[in-house]
């Protein structure tokens, strides 16, 4: 495996684990605000990000490449309203999309088709993640200022269940 591709894949493990920490922080914010449905939604996001890190970890191990685990940074954002959290989530997903695109581009440059095929799932996943984050913002813009509607949106988000990724390595 190309050195740059290996480094980027290894760094992505840390980025995915940071994403899990970030979404745990978001979940904690909403739990403290009494919005357990929103807290559930972000708890599931955290689970997904943790599993994404494991997928990158497993891919590198299956390719007989060393894995180096780095420290995970502490989320440091302070939020003053619910919408700030949702917008931060969308911006973070856009950032993760850019990271996946960078790895894909590096793999493309060296004709690493196996890594590109592995990343295809993540490219699709990031499209879904950005859509979900946008949809959540749209719903909050429509309903968030009305307490009854916010309650119903919170109930909808409470019904989300975790579905582990079905990517086969």
Q: CATH number of the domain that 152 lies in?
A: 1.20.1260.10
Per-residue pLDDT tens digits for 3-24: 999 999 999 999 999 999 999 9
Residue 147 lies in a domain: yes
| Residue 159: exposure state from Cβ atoms within 10 A (0-12, 13-18, ≥19) | exposed
End-to-end CA separation in angstroms for the chain: 16
Residue 62 in any domain: the answer is yes
What pLDDT, on a 0 to 100 scale, did the predictor assign at position 143? 86
Domain that holds residue 17: 3-158
- In eight-state DSSP terms, residue 144 is T
Phi-psi category of 145—alpha, beta or left, where left has phi over 0 and alpha has psi -120 to 50?
alpha
Residue 169 lies in a domain: no
- Within a domain: residue 168? no
Residue 164: inside a domain: no
Place of tokens 């894949």: 9
Does the pLDDT value for residue 169 go beyond 90? no
Residue 90: the pLDDT is 98
Which residue shows structure tokens 């689970």?
A: 47
- Please give the pLDDT value at position 121: 95
pLDDT of 68-109, one tens digit each?
999 999 999 999 999 999 999 999 999 999 999 999 999 999
How many domains does the chain contain in total?
A: 1
Contact status, residue 77 vs residue 88, Cβ threshold 8 Å: yes
Query: What is the model's pLDDT at position 167?
Result: 64
């Amino acid at each position: 495996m190309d050195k740059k591709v290996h480094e980027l894949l290894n760094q992505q493990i840390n980025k995915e684990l940071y994403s899990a920490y970030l979404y745990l922080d978001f979940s904690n914010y909403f739990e403290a605000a009494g919005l357990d449905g929103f807290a559930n939604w972000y708890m599931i996001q955290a689970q997904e990000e943790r599993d994404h890190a494991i997928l990158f970890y497993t891919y590198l191990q299956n390719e007989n490449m060393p894995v180096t685990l780095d420290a995970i940074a502490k989320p440091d954002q302070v939020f003053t309203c619910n919408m700030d959290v949702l917008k931060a989530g969308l911006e973070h997903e856009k950032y993760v999309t850019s990271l996946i695109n960078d790895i894909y581009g590096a793999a493309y440059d060296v004709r690493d088709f196996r890594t590109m095929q592995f990343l295809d799932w993540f490219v699709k996943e990031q499209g879904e993640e950005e859509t979900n984050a946008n949809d959540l913002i749209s719903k909050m813009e429509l309903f968030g200022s009305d307490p009854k509607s916010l309650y119903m949106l919170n109930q909808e988000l409470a019904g989300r269940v975790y579905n582990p990724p079905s990517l086969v390595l």
